[in-house]
């Protein structure tokens, strides 16, 4: 089905939800339970849910006695190798009371550019969903390089949503919605809806933010939302704290309307990462 507005999210057939590192690591690690409960509610309604979760490097940092995100590739890869294992365990532990099993899917940018790898990834996720498994997708940071990577998991989530023909994409962040300029600045106004094709040139979303645990920011979410909307997929950007309300179709966040001339269907062509 085509999701034309956020109110239709509860009835979606297939939804991709993306959560960032800062929302589920460090002092926010406990929010995994909040997110899982919302996903479980959607799962119980019959919605097929795919979670794109950042956080491998951030989760692994304490185990390597790192106070800040490492800047060299080898240490990033080491932190990811340790953290991905812990991250999936935390998700599975939270999912266990709901009798939901998680399936780990690690992708690189090259996987979505290579026709064979892309087909394999799509087939694997389709089978997981058919078995009522909850796929948890992340970039394979252990083998990714600076030269060949998605750049941020907002974009990865948009590409995955297009790959599997999702009805909607929910991008979770640290703020309730997007603003016309950074919300700390005077005159910042919340953005409720972005119609397809709207010119956002006058808004100041800022550049990519690199903090102590991850990368991202409003600009990456706008860019990812555009990618998904062009594929006929509606996108909601809101706070991780409001994930339950988002999946329940409440009037929150910033909604990016999909291209009305497109329909979400499995993407069989090349997906540029």
Compute and round to an integer the Cα radius of gyration of the chain. Answer: 17
Q: Which residues contact 131 (CB under 8 A, 6 or more apart)?
A: none
Q: Which long-range contacts (CB under 8 A, 24 or more apart) does 65-69 make?
A: 67/212, 68/212, 69/210, 69/211, 69/212, 69/213, 69/214
Q: What whole-number distance in Å separates Cα of residue 126 and Cα of residue 151?
A: 25
For residue 204, what pLDDT is reported? Answer: 67
Tell me the CATH class for 6-256: alpha beta
Least confident of 55-69, 124-138, 177-191: 177-191
Smallest CA-to-CA distance from 235 within 184, 159, 151, 174 is with 159
Query: Angle, to 10 degrees, between the axis of helix 115-130 and the axis of helix 153-163?
Result: 80
Smallest CA-to-CA distance from 253 within 187, 171, 167 is with 171
| Vertex 221 angle, CA 190 and 83, to 5° | 125
Q: What whole-number distance in Å separates Cα of residue 5 and Cα of residue 253?
A: 12
- In the chain, what are the domain boundaries? 6-256
User: HEC profile for 125-180?
Assistant: HHHHHHCCCEEEEEECCCCCCCCCCCCCHHHHHHHHHHHCCCCEEEEEECCCCCEC
Beta-bridged to residue 105, according to DSSP, are 137
Q: Tens of pLDDT along 178-218?
A: 998 888 888 888 999 999 988 776 676 654 443 444 445 78
Smallest CA-to-CA distance from 12 within 258, 272, 268 is with 258
For residue 188, what pLDDT is reported? Answer: 85
**Residue 173 marked as a ligand binder:** yes
**Residue 22 marked as a ligand binder:** no
Q: Which residues contact 102 (CB under 8 A, 6 or more apart)?
A: 88, 91, 92, 95, 133, 134, 135, 136
| Residues 53/20, Cβ–Cβ less than 8 Å | no
99 phi and psi, to 5 degrees? 60, 40
| Residues 159/231, Cβ–Cβ less than 8 Å | no
- Provide the 8-state DSSP code for 148: S
Q: What whole-number distance in Å separates Cα of residue 134 and Cα of residue 195?
A: 31
For residue 25, what pLDDT is reported? Answer: 87
Mean pLDDT of the chain: 87
Q: What whole-number distance in Å separates Cα of residue 54 and Cα of residue 176?
A: 19
Give the pLDDT band of residue 142 (cuts 50, 70, 90).
confident
Q: Tens of pLDDT along 231-273?
A: 999 999 999 999 999 999 999 999 999 998 886 555 444 444 4
Q: What whole-number distance in Å separates Cα of residue 247 and Cα of residue 66?
A: 35
**Residue 259 marked as a ligand binder:** no
């Amino acid at each position: 089905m085509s999701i034309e507005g956020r109110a239709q999210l509860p009835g979606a057939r297939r939804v991709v939800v993306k959560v960032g590192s800062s929302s589920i690591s460090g002092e926010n690690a406990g929010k995994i339970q909040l997110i899982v409960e919302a996903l479980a509610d959607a799962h119980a309604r019959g919605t097929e849910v795919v979670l794109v979760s950042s956080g491998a490097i951030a989760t692994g940092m304490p185990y390597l006695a790192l106070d800040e995100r490492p800047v060299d590739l080898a240490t990033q890869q080491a932190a990811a190798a340790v953290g991905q294992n812990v991250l999936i365990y935390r998700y599975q532990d939270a999912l266990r009371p709901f009798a939901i099993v998680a399936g780990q899917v690690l992708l690189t940018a090259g996987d979505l550019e290579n026709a064979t790898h892309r087909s394999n990834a799509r087939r694997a996720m389709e089978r997981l969903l058919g078995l009522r498994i909850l796929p948890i997708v992340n970039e394979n940071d252990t083998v990714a390089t600076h030269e060949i990577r998605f750049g941020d998991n907002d974009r990865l989530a948009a590409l995955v949503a297009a790959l599997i023909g999702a009805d909607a994409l929910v991008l979770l962040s640290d703020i309730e919605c997007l603003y016309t300029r950074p919300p700390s600045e005077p005159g910042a106004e919340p953005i409720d809806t972005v119609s397809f094709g709207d010119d956002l040139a006058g808004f100041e979303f800022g550049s990519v933010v690199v903090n102590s645990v991850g990368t991202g920011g409003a600009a990456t979410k706008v860019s990812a939302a555009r990618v998904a909307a062009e594929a006929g997929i509606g996108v909601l950007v809101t706070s991780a704290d409001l994930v339950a309300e988002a999946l329940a179709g409440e009037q929150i966040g910033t909604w990016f309307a999909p291209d009305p001339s497109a329909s979400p269907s499995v993407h069989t062509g090349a997906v540029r990462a």
